[in-house]
Structure 1
Amino acid sequence: MKSKLVVFILLTATLSLSAQWKPAGDRLKTRWASQIDVNNVLPEYPRPIMERSQWQNLNGLWNYAILPVGKQNPTSFDGKILVPFAIESSLSGVQKRLGSENELWYQREFTVPSNWKNNRVLLHFGAVDWKADVWVNDIKVGQHTGGYAPFSFDVTPALKSGTNKLVVKVWDGTDQGYQPRGKQVNNPHGIWYTPVSGIWQTVWLEPVPEKYIENVKITPDIDKNTIGVEAFINQATASDRIEVKVMEGSRVVATGQSINNQPVEVSMPANPRLWSPNDPFLYDLEVTVFNGSKQLDKVKSYTAMRKYSTKRDDKGIVRLQLNNKDLFQFGPLDQGWWPDGLYTAPTDEALRYDVVKTKDFGFNMIRKHVKVEPARWYMHCDQLGIIVWQDMPNGDRSPEWQMREYFTGAERLRSPESEANYRKEWKEIMDYLYSYPSIGVWVPFNEAWGQFKTQEIVEWTKQYDPSRLVNPASGGNHYHLGDMLDLHNYPHPEMYLYDGQRATVLGEYGGIGWANKE
């Protein structure tokens, strides 16, 4: 009888939560909206490039309140919001505008599993747009600015046994400030879309040992036939030893190790399997840190043997190459918006579906346009064989634009705050995505919007990651810089400039409507 009562209580609680949420408004819904389980929202592991076995998903129904800027922690709440869907979205269950004059407060409770007691606990946010302040049990654990990169806080000192309280405050100016925002505007129209404010990617907890791997940076080199692995340790000492195993299925095919905080260089067997859109083969990795013979931490990862480059052909034309062979790259401009979830796909199946259909249509690349996706989207591109040209989301304002000739005007001068924020967010995005093999091209600017100090930014980007190509300003103000000249023309394709020292590409065209005569 007691067990039946427990089951009944759990079932009642589940039904009660479900009754507190439904999609808001009358916007178009995708077929995946009906598959959302409020008790298990986006349950897939959120960081596939560096995986540990234990974690706790904090997605689900949270309390929320909208208060004027400067008001203190709310004493009551406006209702429930389904995290991680932005408050302006239908799938949040709210569909309200925030505005730069207000702040969005979130609150929920959680308990830490008892078997984590000898570990430190990290609180992770996949992405929050734009400024987030975070408290655990009324202790402030940190602040982050930037709407597109993950961040985390060690919340161990703030935790207590039993129930813990998590509070997040968000401010988002959308197009009222200099921050990167892509196509978000406060007054949507035409090709300008709804603001995305607050939490829009998975929130989760992770137990880690006292000394742990904070990040891994993986660099394949098919010319040297090596894989470089740099493991970043939170309390690194010279005596730490990093060991890397490379696996094909369950079979270990290569190993390497290093000490004294040095990167590991793993020599691969002869004739490794190369990654390409036709054969997107991935090698699994294990990265372990030891002190003496004691294992301190281990994470699972993956990589691919592939190379992005350019080379002049026998006709003197500079071509894009993959794995030292010419490859005509052909794909859509993917802005990553959902009618019901805005920036956030309803389910992981929906997220993968877009990549699958892109491949089905015969494309081999996607330009991810002025948006950065959750990590699993890049994993799907890795697995399915789609090359990604990754934009930096636009911010600030547009300067003079001379798209049909090489630029002869004066570049925009950003404020010191705007420039510093651009550099911070661009570096965070590059660090976040560095190890995903499908990333082939970095695009710092789009159509001159926010374009500034082009030579300096392009040279920094190329120096920071020489393993990728750099497209300086897709359809923007053109200079003889980077690896390609990228032209835009609407509606028909037109190549109106040429750079004999770089690959010349058509970064955008189209927008062609098909008349329905019925």
Structure 2
Amino acid sequence: MKVRLLVCMGWLMAFSAFAQWQPAGDKIKTRWASQIDVNNVLPEYPRPIMERAEWQNLNGLWNYAILPIGKQTPSTFDGKILVPFAIESSLSGVQKKVGRENELWYQREFTIPSKWKNNRILLHFGAVDWKADVWVNDIKVGRHTGGYTPFSFDITSALKSGSNTLVVKVWDPTNDGYQPRGKQVNRPEGIWYTSVTGIWQTVWLEPVPEKYITNVKITPDIDKNILTVEASVNEVSALDKIEVKVMDGSQVIASGRSINHLPVEITMPEQVKLWSPDSPFLYDLEITLWSDNKPQDKVNSYAAMRKYSIKRDNKGIVRLQLNNKDLFQFGPLDQGWWPDGLYTAPTDDALKFDIQKTKDLGFNMIRKHVKVEPARWYMHCDRLGMIVWQDMPNGDRGPHWQPRQYFNGVEWLRSPESEANYRKEWKEIIDFLYSYPCVGVWVPFNEAWGQFKTKEIAEWTKQYDPSRLVNPASGGNHYPVGDMLDLHNYPHPELYLYDGQRPTVLGEYGGIGWAVKGHLWEPDRNWGYVQFNSSKEVTDQYVEYAEQLKTLIKHGFSAAVYTQTTDVEVEVNGLMTYDREMIKMDEQRIKQVNSEICNILNY
């Protein structure tokens, strides 16, 4: 009888949650939308580069309210919202706009497991767009600005026994503000998409000891055969020791230790396994903090031995290299948008799907376009063997034009506040993604969207992370800085500029469109750079452009980016439909020609 009662109670709780949440609106959705468990939303560990065994997921149904700026904590709420889906999305169950004149409030209760007693408790947010203020039990615990990076607060002193109340207030001006916002706009059209406000990545709790590891920074050097691991600690002491074990499966194949806050430098085996798209091998890491000869904290991580560089080939063309070998990097422009979740994939399987399909189609690279993904997206790229070109999300274009002479370009003149915010958020993005092996290229600007002080920004980026390449302005105003010259040309590939000192790359081309009925965001308002009416037509055009690209590679191109992975809202130029239900082209023909392009420098 007791078992039956518990089962019935479980069903009632599940039904109650389901009754409080349904996807909103009538737009198309992905197959994964129906797989969402309201009581277990995105249950996967959200920070795979630094993992601990214990954590608590706070995703699920929260209370929400939209109030004018300056109002106090609401005494009543408008309803329920499914975290971590942005309020404008279908999967939030709300699908409302907020606007710069309002603030979005969230509220939920939580309890701390009794076994976490005597630990410090950290509250983590994967990402909140854009300014977040956080209270626990009416005690202000922190504020964060920046829509694309994780942040956390130590909330131990604000906690009480039993139920605790968490409140989050968010303000996001979208394109009315100076902050990075990618392709979000208040009035979507063309290449501009629906705004994203509030929590859009996992919220979670984590117990840690009094002294704990706060961050790991992992740097491989295949030329010296050394792996460097720098572990930051919340309370610094000269007596602390960091120990790192490098694992190949269950076997420890190398290890190292350091004291006095120094990085751990580990000499790797002579027959080290290199990471590449063809062989994406990852070593597991165990990183332990010792204090007074006692283990205080341990995190699990992983690393890859790989190198991104450039070098002139025997024909005098400067090429991109991976592990000291020429590699033509070829992949799609990936916007990372979802018809049901907007910025947030419905499930982890959905998040992985786009990467896996890109791999299946024969590409070896993805340009992540003016968006930053959750940490697990980069983990999937690491595991599947996909090089990533990471864009800085564009934002403020500033109030005035400032003329430049080089290539007749122009740059925006940003306000001091805007410039300072750009620099802050760009640094945070680099810090966030530094240890993920897949990231090979930083792209601080796209097509002059908010481009400013290009030389200074590119040089700072390279100095801050010399282990990667810097694409100073993809298709933007061109200056002789950074590691490559990046051209955009639609719809066909064209080599109209060439740099004899840096690799010349085709940062965008293609945009072959086909509006597939039954898979459209808006049935009557769609566009592509060129449009066709069948799979054969778009495949034929793709292959024609690919054959043109092969010729141009011999004349100087060292990488190319095809637009784009999926349709997005009214854009219908994807390799896949927006709902991911249909691959628009002949997969075998596309895979064949893509593989030929990726391996063209090996012939």
TM band (smaller chain): over 0.9
**In structure 2, distance between residues paired with 1:515 and 1:274:** 42
Name the amino acid aligned to 2:478.
H
**In structure 1, distance between residues paired with 2:32 and 2:457:** 40
* Counterpart in the other structure of 1:445: 445
* Counterpart in the other structure of 1:131: 131
Deviations 1:25-72 (A, max 9, x none): 001110000000000000000000000000000000000001111111
Deviations 1:147-191 (A, max 9, x none): 000000000000000000000000000000110000000000011
* Counterpart in the other structure of 2:532: 515
* Counterpart in the other structure of 1:417: 417
Deviations 1:287-316 (A, max 9, x none): 101013200100000010000000011111
Q: CA deviation at 1:200?
A: 0.2
User: Cα distance 1:112–1:454, how it changes in 2: closer, same or farther (>3 A)?
Assistant: same
Asked if 2 retains the 8 angstrom alpha-carbon contact of 1:401 and 1:476, the reply is no
Deviations 1:421-470 (A, max 9, x none): 00100010000000000000000000111111111111110011000000
Give the 3-state SS of the residue equivalent to 2:394 in structure 1. coil
* Counterpart in the other structure of 1:45: 45
User: Cα distance 1:423–1:397, how it changes in 2: closer, same or farther (>3 A)?
Assistant: same
Asked if 1 retains the 8 angstrom alpha-carbon contact of 2:219 and 2:229, the reply is yes
Asked if 2 retains the 8 angstrom alpha-carbon contact of 1:402 and 1:476, the reply is no
Name the amino acid aligned to 1:210.
E
1:386 to 2:386 alignment: yes
Name the amino acid aligned to 2:293.
S
* Counterpart in the other structure of 1:238: 238
Name the amino acid aligned to 1:109.
E
Query: Greater CA deviation, 366-375 or 446-455?
Result: 446-455
Give the 3-state SS of the residue equivalent to 1:388 in structure 2. strand
Asked if 2 retains the 8 angstrom alpha-carbon contact of 1:217 and 1:434, the reply is yes
**In structure 1, distance between residues paired with 2:464 and 2:237:** 25
* Counterpart in the other structure of 1:427: 427
1:300 to 2:296 alignment: no
1:281-296 mapped onto 2 (5 Å cutoff) = 281-296=281-296
* Counterpart in the other structure of 1:225: 225
Asked if 2 retains the 8 angstrom alpha-carbon contact of 1:334 and 1:368, the reply is yes
Q: CA deviation at 1:117?
A: 0.9
Q: CA deviation at 1:406?
A: 4.1
**In structure 2, distance between residues paired with 1:444 and 1:287:** 32
> Unaligned stretches of 5+ in structure 1?
none
* Counterpart in the other structure of 1:121: 121
Alignment coverage as a number of residue pairs? 517
Q: TM-score, normalised by structure 1?
A: 0.98
Give the 3-state SS of the residue equivalent to 2:331 in structure 1. coil
Asked if 1 retains the 8 angstrom alpha-carbon contact of 2:213 and 2:297, the reply is yes
Give the 3-state SS of the residue equivalent to 2:229 in structure 1. strand
* Counterpart in the other structure of 1:147: 147
* Counterpart in the other structure of 1:88: 88
Identity %: 79
Asked if 2 retains the 8 angstrom alpha-carbon contact of 1:400 and 1:409, the reply is no
Q: CA deviation at 1:345?
A: 0.2
1:199 to 2:215 alignment: no
Q: CA deviation at 1:10?
A: 3.0
Asked if 2 retains the 8 angstrom alpha-carbon contact of 1:131 and 1:144, the reply is yes
**What RMSD, in angstroms, separates the aligned Cα atoms of the two structures?**
1.5
* Counterpart in the other structure of 1:107: 107
* Counterpart in the other structure of 2:332: 332
Name the amino acid aligned to 1:395.
G
**In structure 2, distance between residues paired with 1:230 and 1:313:** 35
Asked if 1 retains the 8 angstrom alpha-carbon contact of 2:402 and 2:413, the reply is no
Name the amino acid aligned to 1:509.
Y
Give the 3-state SS of the residue equivalent to 2:147 in structure 1. coil
Asked if 1 retains the 8 angstrom alpha-carbon contact of 2:485 and 2:504, the reply is yes
**In structure 2, distance between residues paired with 1:409 and 1:439:** 29
Name the amino acid aligned to 1:195.
S
Q: CA deviation at 1:121?
A: 0.3
Q: TM-score, normalised by structure 2?
A: 0.84
**In structure 2, distance between residues paired with 1:39 and 1:163:** 18
> Unaligned stretches of 5+ in structure 2?
514-530, 536-603
Give the 3-state SS of the residue equivalent to 1:296 in structure 2. strand
Q: CA deviation at 1:412?
A: 2.3
* Counterpart in the other structure of 1:59: 59
Asked if 1 retains the 8 angstrom alpha-carbon contact of 2:56 and 2:204, the reply is yes
Going by fraction, where is helix more abundant, 1 or 2?
A: 2
* Counterpart in the other structure of 2:588: none
**In structure 2, distance between residues paired with 1:510 and 1:411:** 26
Asked if 2 retains the 8 angstrom alpha-carbon contact of 1:401 and 1:477, the reply is no
